Amino acid sequence: MPLSEHEQRMLKEIESALYADDPKFASSVRKTGATGVRRPTGLVVGLGILGVALLVGGLALDFKPGGFPVLSLVGFLVMFAAGVLALRSRPGPAAAGPKKSGGPRMPGGGRTSSSGGGDGRSYSTRMEDRFRRRFEQGP
């Protein structure tokens, strides 16, 4: 179902506000798409299944040197590696590093910055100020 002209206009306004407010995030969304970062899903699932098989197989088999189920330990480590791989997967060039730009000016005079802000205020303080300014400006 296509969007109406009003909805398209509102969507463009929201998009331009996002680009003006947080250009780093906007460019990363533009590069990766709305679905986010593509992870090596097949590898993660395969390692997870292999880890479970080794874990259960190590307990079921009679191979326990010194009374310790070494095969089960290896299975756990493989599952752990799969979890770490799933959590640490990143896109290539998009996550190369933070930029040193100061960011665009906000309507209130402050600068936006995803690295913590150069004015020494905390993140929550800056968010509270932005929230107050929105209601002070009115509809």
| pLDDT 10s digits, 108-134 | 545 444 455 556 778 888 888 888 888
How much is the pLDDT for 103? 46
- How far is 88 from 26, CA to CA, in rounded Å? 21
- How far is 136 from 77, CA to CA, in rounded Å? 55
CB atoms within 10 A of CB 55: 20
**AA identity, residue 9:** R
106: tokens are 């906000």
How much is the pLDDT for 81? 93
Q: Which DSSP category does 94 fall into?
A: G
- How far is 67 from 114, CA to CA, in rounded Å? 53
How much is the pLDDT for 102? 47
How much is the pLDDT for 76? 94
| pLDDT 10s digits, 64-95 | 888 888 899 999 999 999 999 888 876 544 44
Which has the higher per-residue pLDDT, 100 or 78?
Answer: 78
| Of 81, 64, 46, nearest in space to 72 by CA | 64
- How far is 88 from 43, CA to CA, in rounded Å? 13
- How far is 13 from 19, CA to CA, in rounded Å? 10
How much is the pLDDT for 48? 92
| pLDDT 10s digits, 19-78 | 888 877 777 776 655 555 566 788 899 999 999 999 999 888 887 888 888 899 999 999
CB atoms within 10 A of CB 56: 13
- How far is 71 from 76, CA to CA, in rounded Å? 9
Q: Which DSSP category does 116 fall into?
A: S
Whole-model pTM? Answer: 0.40
